[in-house]
């Protein structure tokens, strides 16, 4: 042990003890969030890397121990303010059941608590190990629709450039040798997250200049996207040239990972050519004297941190107790202007999980037929929530239906203007091709929106005001015998009966 280490140990001991206690305190109050994150690590292949992020962060701190011994911990009390904001973010995420927000907030709270006890000089030295903890947050699913669209765009473009005719609808396309579909596994999200995590660690360990680090991190993000596009094109080409005997089963994924592995090896081999020697930064004697002169106890800030950390879970418990526990009951709404109940069969149902109650029925006026689906949610949590990446019109594994087009449409409903989500669904599973035009929006305690983010914000705002979290998704749909006929039927239905839909939802909310 060096003299500096021996001299620093008694000064470090109270801070290390305070760090241990504050981490235990965080685990006590936020155990549900942390355990949910660990479950995702164990369950999802996309986020399995989260299991090794904390050990890697600890190792990164441990390898700095000789240099850290030259520093004196100086608590930074002002970090209680950003910590309070992070705790409020956790509360919003908990009220709206947003996993990514609550889990990010807990990791950020851990980082800020450590920074508060160590001080800014030490935190700057440990900036990367602390920031690396953010890779433990399992976030990225929101990127999958856009990544799938990009993959489909590139694959179709490359196939046509190769002289292969392609007919495309949405994420499905047909070539002379067969049908192909871009699903979640084709998005490349696993490759991107794995590459970004490992690439960021590689850049930190092998470079000292910020410029080189940022350039390599950018490449570790860009390369897997391009590699995934090439992978998708190559798999389709292998299937096409082999008459669909290769790259259509389990080997589909094997080829993808082998190709990705080769690309990553090449990227790291190239990156090693510009590696730089480590730069050891040791404080000057004058800095040590200043640090020793201003040394003070970590316990006051530890108490402050503990109080702020406990406020979030306590506030959530109080808000949850004020919510309604009565199960909601939806009645079939009475429609106006000649629209009457119909016995038309509902062949499609959206994949919205665990609504508190739901209603699906049809209405008819003359030759016009419109279907109605309402999924109503109350007392939302992480198992039952209105807005979720898994709540979709059609899942990628649906054997009958697929989404072939989507967009928006401006319209006024019950004197509220909004842009509806529009989708076109194609049914092929029955052997007879048919199409549906679907319009979708949300009702959040009386407010209408079609934005997921706005829906979450309205829900959080209502819960904070003690108004509960009653919310619903409303979908109306019509057979697309012709685009004009479907549009006319849906426009008349929602224009005439928008207030009736609002009324039935308000009655459901207010019913004791």
Label residue 1 by pLDDT band (50, 70, 90).
Answer: very low
The pLDDT value given to residue 2: 40
Q: How far is CA 334 from CA 337, 339, 500, 504, in A?
A: 10, 9, 7, 9
What is the arithmetic mean of pLDDT over 306-335? 89
> 144-161 vs 189-206: helix axis angle to the nearest 10?
100
Global pTM reads 0.87
Q: How far is CA 358 from CA 22, 70, 390, 468, in A?
A: 44, 64, 17, 18
What is the arithmetic mean of pLDDT over 65-81? 87
Is pLDDT above 70 for 280? Answer: no
Label residue 161 by pLDDT band (50, 70, 90).
Answer: very high
In the Cβ-directed half-sphere of 351, how many Cα atoms lie within 13 Å? 16
The pLDDT value given to residue 185: 75
Secondary structure (3-state) at 12: helix
Concatenate the DSSP letters of all residues of 440-483 into one string: EEEEETTEEE--HHHHHHHHHHHHHTT----EEEEEEEEE-SSH
Average pLDDT, the chain: 87
Percentage of residues in the chain having pLDDT higher than 90: 56
d(C-alpha 270, C-alpha 274), whole Å: 8
Contact in structure between 435 and 497 (CB atoms under 8 Å): no
d(C-alpha 274, C-alpha 48), whole Å: 30
> 99-118 vs 3-29: helix axis angle to the nearest 10?
150
Each residue's pLDDT tens digit, 479-498: 987 768 888 899 999 999 99
Each residue's pLDDT tens digit, 255-273: 666 777 788 888 888 888 8
Is pLDDT above 90 for 9? Answer: no
The pLDDT value given to residue 466: 87
């Amino acid at each position: 042990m060096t003299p500096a280490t021996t001299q620093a140990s008694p000064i470090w001991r109270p801070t290390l003890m305070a760090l241990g206690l504050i981490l235990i305190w965080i685990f006590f109050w936020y155990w549900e969030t942390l355990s949910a994150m660990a479950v995702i690590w164990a369950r999802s292949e996309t986020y399995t890397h989260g299991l090794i992020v904390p050990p890697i962060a600890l190792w990164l701190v441990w390898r700095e121990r000789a240099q850290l011994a030259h520093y004196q911990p100086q608590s930074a009390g002002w970090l209680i303010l950003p910590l309070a904001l992070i705790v409020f973010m956790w509360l919003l995420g908990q009220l709206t059941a947003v996993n990514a927000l609550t889990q990010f907030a807990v990791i950020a709270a851990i980082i800020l608590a450590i920074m508060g006890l160590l001080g800014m000089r030490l935190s700057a030295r440990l900036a990367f190990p602390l920031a690396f903890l953010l890779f433990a947050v399992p976030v990225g699913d929101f990127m999958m629709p856009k990544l799938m669209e990009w993959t489909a765009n590139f694959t179709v473009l490359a196939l046509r450039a190769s002289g292969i005719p392609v007919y495309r609808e949405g994420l499905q396309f047909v070539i002379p040798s067969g049908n192909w579909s871009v699903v979640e596994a084709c998005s490349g999200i696993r490759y991107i997250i794995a590459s970004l995590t490992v690439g960021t660690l590689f850049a930190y360990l092998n470079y000292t200049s910020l410029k080189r680090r940022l350039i390599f991190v950018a490449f570790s993000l860009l390369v897997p996207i391009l590699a995934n596009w090439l992978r998708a094109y190559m798999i389709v080409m292998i299937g096409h040239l082999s008459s669909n005997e290769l790259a259509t089963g389990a080997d589909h994924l094997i080829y993808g990972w082998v190709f990705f592995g080769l690309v990553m090896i090449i990227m790291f081999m190239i990156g090693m050519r510009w590696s730089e020697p480590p730069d050891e930064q040791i404080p000057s004697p004058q800095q040590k004297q200043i640090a020793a002169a201003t040394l003070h106890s970590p316990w006051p800030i530890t108490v402050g941190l503990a109080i702020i950390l406990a406020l979030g879970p306590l506030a959530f418990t109080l808000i949850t107790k004020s919510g309604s526990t009565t199960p909601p009951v939806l009645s079939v709404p009475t429609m106006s202007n000649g629209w009457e109940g119909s016995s038309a069969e509902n062949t499609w149902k959206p994949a919205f999980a665990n609504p508190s109650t739901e209603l699906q029925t049809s209405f008819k006026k003359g030759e016009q037929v419109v279907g109605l689906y309402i999924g109503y949610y109350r007392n939302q949590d992480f198992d039952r929530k209105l807005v979720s990446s898994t709540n979709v019109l059609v899942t990628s594994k649906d054997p009958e239906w697929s989404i072939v087009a989507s967009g928006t449409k401006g319209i006024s409903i019950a004197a509220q203007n909004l842009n509806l989500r529009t989708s076109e669904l194609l049914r092929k599973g029955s052997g007879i091709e048919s199409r549906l035009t679907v319009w979708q929006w949300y009702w959040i305690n009386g407010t209408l929106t079609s934005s997921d983010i706005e829906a979450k914000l309205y829900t959080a705002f209502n819960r904070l005001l003690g108004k509960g979290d009653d919310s619903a998704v409303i979908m109306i749909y019509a057979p697309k015998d012709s685009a004009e006929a479907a549009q006319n039927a849906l426009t008349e239905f929602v224009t005439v009966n928008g207030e009736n839909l609002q009324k039935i939802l308000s009655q459901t909310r207010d019913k004791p």
